[in-house]
């Protein structure tokens, strides 16, 4: 019952270059602290490397979140109930979404993703596992309000945003996203969202700098992508990956650090990095109970239940779309 709504959202120039990628990279490399938005880590190679990261022993979030989904089916069923339309922000991973869908028995599943091919492939996989479920994949940038299919208009909605992807956004962007999710889902909706927890920095830094070097490859792939797609000459062998816990912002930062002074071109513009200088490529914010509550409230969501995995490393939070407040 998969319904398709296909239209590419990528804006390419005459030479086939993604305009947004080019302007983000050129602008980001021109800043004093060089920075490229983390979304550009995910080309095909980057997406595959991320899948590999979820399997390395040091990267606990995927396994921890899955263990919550496995353990709490009965409570999801009680607090969420059946016959909702589940709207997943980002295409469902092959393992987490089926656990939720089996637990709550929704009437429809609406995966939203900007990557059309990946979206359609994972929607088809899910449809095969749940042949009676109405599946409506929508190719969309979920950072903005999305028009949901008319078929789910009268159903209560549950937004699903696993993986602690919210942690990859600075607070300003995270609040914008939570508010647009609320607009997309409407009054009476619920949100089930994964948020990784603050913990010992050594555990966090290892999770983002695994011994096998998969996360390093994931990070370095961004430099390779710039070379490939933007006529770049970055000497990738002169960069190394670093994961740094920044306590003030409660986040792990990923950087590409220059091992020597380097000079390179991207789209005919010249850039220089002194030895030790870095390109900041990702933030992964971590939360405690208060900071996650504050973020959700700022985005228009009231937490109603918070589950942790057995080792207390990761949280999955159920929140309700709250009424607009008039009180001071
Ligand atoms: C996708 N996101 C939630 C991952 C994270 O943990 O911040 C991305 C990642 N980056 C390095 N390892 C994993």
* 71-81 confidence digits (pLDDT tens): 999 999 999 99
Average pLDDT on 36-41 reads 96
| Residue minimizing CA distance to atom 3 of ligand 1 | 165
| Residue minimizing CA distance to atom 5 of ligand 1 | 284
At 199-228, the pLDDT tens digits run 999 999 999 999 999 999 999 999 999 999
Beta strands in 167-276 (DSSP E): 190-196, 239-246, 251-258, 262-266, 269-273
Q: Does the pLDDT of residue 2 top 60, yes or no?
A: no
The alpha carbon of 54 and the centre of ligand 1 are apart by a number of angstroms equal to 9
The alpha carbon of 57 and the centre of ligand 1 are apart by a number of angstroms equal to 14
Atom of ligand 1 nearest to the CA of 168: 7
**pLDDT attached to residue 149:** 97
**pLDDT attached to residue 6:** 41
Structure tokens of 112?
A: 């939203």
| Residue minimizing CA distance to atom 11 of ligand 1 | 208
Structure tokens of 44?
A: 């095909």
Pocket of ligand 1 (CB under 6 A): 53, 61, 163-165, 167-168, 208, 215, 282, 284
**pLDDT attached to residue 93:** 64
Average pLDDT on 6-21 reads 78
Q: Which of 24-38, 110-124, 149-163 has the lowest mean pLDDT?
A: 110-124
Q: Is the pTM of this model over 0.75?
A: yes
**pLDDT attached to residue 95:** 80
**pLDDT attached to residue 4:** 41
At 105-131, the pLDDT tens digits run 999 999 999 888 888 988 999 999 999
The alpha carbon of 280 and the centre of ligand 1 are apart by a number of angstroms equal to 14
Average pLDDT on 83-89 reads 97
Average pLDDT on 35-44 reads 95
The alpha carbon of 204 and the centre of ligand 1 are apart by a number of angstroms equal to 11
| Residue minimizing CA distance to atom 6 of ligand 1 | 284
**pLDDT attached to residue 94:** 65
184 confidence band (pLDDT: 50, 70, 90): very high
What is the percent of the chain where pLDDT is above 70?
Answer: 95
The alpha carbon of 288 and the centre of ligand 1 are apart by a number of angstroms equal to 18
Residues of the chain by 3-state class (helix, strand, coil), percent to 5: 40, 25, 35
**pLDDT attached to residue 118:** 82
Give long-range contacts, CB 8 A cutoff, 24+ apart: 41-48. 41/218, 41/219, 41/221, 41/222, 41/281, 41/282, 42/115, 43/221, 43/225, 43/229, 45/221, 45/224, 45/225, 46/218, 46/221, 46/222, 46/225, 47/115, 47/118
| Residue minimizing CA distance to atom 10 of ligand 1 | 208
Q: Look over the chain and give the mean of its residue pLDDT values, rounded to a whole number.
A: 94
The alpha carbon of 107 and the centre of ligand 1 are apart by a number of angstroms equal to 31
Atom of ligand 1 nearest to the CA of 54: 13
Closest C-alpha to 313, from 164, 95, 101, 97? 164
At a CB cut-off of 8 Å and minimum separation 6, what does 78 contact?
none
Average pLDDT on 268-287 reads 98
Q: Which of 78-92, 229-243, 268-282, 300-314 has the lowest mean pLDDT?
A: 78-92
Q: Distance (Å, rounded) from C-alpha 88 to C-alpha 142?
A: 10
């Amino acid at each position: 019952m998969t319904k398709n709504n296909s239209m590419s959202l990528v804006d390419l120039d005459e030479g086939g270059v993604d305009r947004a990628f080019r302007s983000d990279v050129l602008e980001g490399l021109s800043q004093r602290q060089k920075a490229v938005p983390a979304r550009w880590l995910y080309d095909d190679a980057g997406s595959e490397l991320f899948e590999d990261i979820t399997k390395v022993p040091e990267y606990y979030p995927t396994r921890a979140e899955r263990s919550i989904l496995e353990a709490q089916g009965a409570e999801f069923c009680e607090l969420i109930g059946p016959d909702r339309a589940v709207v997943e922000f980002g295409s469902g991973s092959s393992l987490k979404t089926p656990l939720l869908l089996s637990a709550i028995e929704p009437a429809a599943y609406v995966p939203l993703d900007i990557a059309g091919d990946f979206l359609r492939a994972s929607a088809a996989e899910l449809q095969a596992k749940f042949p009676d479920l109405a599946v409506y994949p929508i190719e969309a940038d979920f950072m903005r309000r999305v028009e949901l299919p008319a078929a789910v208009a009268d159903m209560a909605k549950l937004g699903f945003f696993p993986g602690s992807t919210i942690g990859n956004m600075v607070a300003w962007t995270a609040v914008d996203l939570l508010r647009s999710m609320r607009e997309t889902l409407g009054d009476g909706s619920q949100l089930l969202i994964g948020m990784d927890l603050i913990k010992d920095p050594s555990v966090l830094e290892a999770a983002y700098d695994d011994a096998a070097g998969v996360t390093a490859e994931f990070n370095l792939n961004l430099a390779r992508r710039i070379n490939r797609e933007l006529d770049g000459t970055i000497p990738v062998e002169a960069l190394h990956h670093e994961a740094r816990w920044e306590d003030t912002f409660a986040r792990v930062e990923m950087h590409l650090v220059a091992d020597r002074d380097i000079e390179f071109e991207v789209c005919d513009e010249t850039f220089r990095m002194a030895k030790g200088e870095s390109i900041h490529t990702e933030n992964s914010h971590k939360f405690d109970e208060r900071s996650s509550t504050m973020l959700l409230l700022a985005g228009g969501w009231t937490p109603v239940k918070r589950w942790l995995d057995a080792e207390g490393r990761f949280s999955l939070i159920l929140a309700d779309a709250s009424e607009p407040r008039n009180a001071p």
